[in-house]
Structure 1
Amino acid sequence: MSTTDTTTADGPVFSTEAYAAVEKAAKSRRALYVPSVLEHAAELLTGLWATGEKYGVASSEWSWTTDLAGGTLDVVARQYESAPDPVRTPAKVVALQGHLIGALTSEEIGLTARLSGPGVIVDRGPDTPRGGRDGDADVEVRIHSDGGWNFSYAADGASVMSIVAPATEAGASQVAEVIRAFVRGELGPVFRH
């Protein structure tokens, strides 16, 4: 394991190798992950590797027996996707939707978004992958009182994709970045049929 070279005063401490391993593992999962979740998992993986080294097990030795990076990511993601205890109040869900709309419509991101029932509808862009019955459906983003974030096309029967992110104002901003990338066609067709 290399030295820990990513550190912040308030944030996680992790090695670049751990972050790269977690990021690689994320590509094989059926969810999208915001940077803070990847950093959380990389911090845990860095610690697991350090513990292994105390017992004479190099970080490279884990790969032949298990997907430690993927398992670490899955364990961390569960903290963000599971039902909170107590369940998130309707007022908290509405506040998070408001933060999301604010982030989506900010000058930095520049999308058009509005509250619509239980979700936030985001207008598609010219490069948004085709979706919905006629291929022109907008995007719907939700935060659940008993779980995490997800998005889909705003169409009946549309596939749903999880976005693993904190249920916080900062998490809403990170979700907005993921949606911006999707609407602008930077993520490609993430919904596999």
Structure 2
Amino acid sequence: MDTTDDTAPEGPVFSTEAYAAVEKAAGSRRSLYVPSVLEHAAELLTALWAAGEKHGITPAEWGWVTDLAGATIDVVSRQYESAPKPERTYEQVMALQGHLASALNELGLTTRPGSPGVIVSRGPDTPRGGFHGDADIDVRIYSDGGWAFSFAADGASVMSIVAPASQAGASQVAEVVRAFVRGELGNVFRR
């Protein structure tokens, strides 16, 4: 495990191997994941591997029967993509969208209110999208689900961003959106 002393760690504890396995598994999924979600899944995978080792099963042996890294990212994602019951109120959704807009603006992106959501102006390296290829980006959080973004165009595909429904989660979503607008992720809608 990645700790440097005997004190209790201040966050998730996971091995670098578990993080790499979860990150690889996430790459084959139809969603994008923020670092804190990958860390959460890596922490679970590290614990599962440790439990297996107590029974003489090495981490590599799991691959013979299942995609344990993929299973951990899938099960952890459900916690972020399903809203707690009861659903988020309109005020909660608007507050989260406000945090998102602030985080996007702090990263140097131009935003305006959407209906619902936050519209982010495209950049010169943003992948082409929309009818004429020049659509801006629509980012939102659902009252009964998680974060998502799409091109701001009728009929556009929607991509989930698995992140906490919190101010910190909004900041991480903003980082993902910035990477997309800058062209760093390529056209994730064509995976």
Q: TM-score, normalised by structure 1?
A: 0.95
Of 7-16 and 145-154, more deviation after overlay is shown by 7-16
Identity rate of aligned residues, in percent? 76
Counterparts of 1:116 and 1:77, CA distance in 2: 26
Equivalent residues of 1:40, 1:76 under 8 A apart: yes
The answer to whether structure 1 residue 183 and structure 2 residue 181 are counterparts is yes
The whole-number CA distance in structure 2 between the counterparts of 1:85 and 1:17 is: 35
Contact 1:80 1:164 in 2 (8 A): yes
Could you give the per-residue CA deviations for residues 72-118 of structure 1, whole angstroms, max 9, x where no partner exists? 10000010001321211111100000000000001xx1000121221
- Kept in 2: contact 1:112–1:123 (CA 8 A): yes
Matching of residue 97 in structure 1 with residue 94 in structure 2:
no
Whole-angstrom CA distance in 1 between matches of 2:85 and 2:37: 20
Which residue of the partner structure matches residue 78 of structure 1?
Answer: 78
- Structure 2: which 5+ runs fail to align? none
> In structure 2, how many angstroms separate the alpha carbons of the residues matched to 1:43 and 1:116?
36
Q: What is the SS of the residue equivalent to 2:63?
A: helix
Contact 2:109-2:120 within 8 A present in 1 as well = yes
Question: 1:128, 1:185 within 8 Å by CA — same for their partners in 2?
Answer: yes
How many residues align? The count is: 188
Q: Deviations over 1:143-172 (max 9, x none)?
A: 000000000000000000000000000000
Q: What RMSD in Å do the two structures reach over aligned CA positions? A: 1.2
After superposition, residues 1-193 of structure 1 pair within 5 angstroms as 4-5=1-2, 9-106=9-106, 109-192=107-190
Show structure 1 runs of 5+ residues with no match: none
Looking at structure 2, the residues matched to 185 and 111 of structure 1 have their Cα atoms a distance apart, in angstroms, of 13
Is the Cα–Cα contact under 8 Å of residues 26 and 70 in structure 1 kept in the other structure?
A: yes
Tell me which amino acid in the other structure corresponds to 2:142: H
Distance 2:62 2:113 in 1: 46
Tell whether the 8 Å contact from 2:81 to 2:162 is kept in structure 1 after alignment.
yes
Write out per-residue CA displacement over residues 17-62 of structure 1, whole angstroms, 9 at most, x where no aligned residue.
0000000000000000000000000000000000000111011100
C-alpha distance in 2 between matches for 1:9 and 1:22? 21
AA of the residue aligned to 2:98: G
CA distance in 1, matches of 2:63, 2:11: 27
* 8 Å Cα contact 2:135-2:152 kept in structure 1: yes
How far apart in 2 are the matches of 1:6 and 1:16? 11
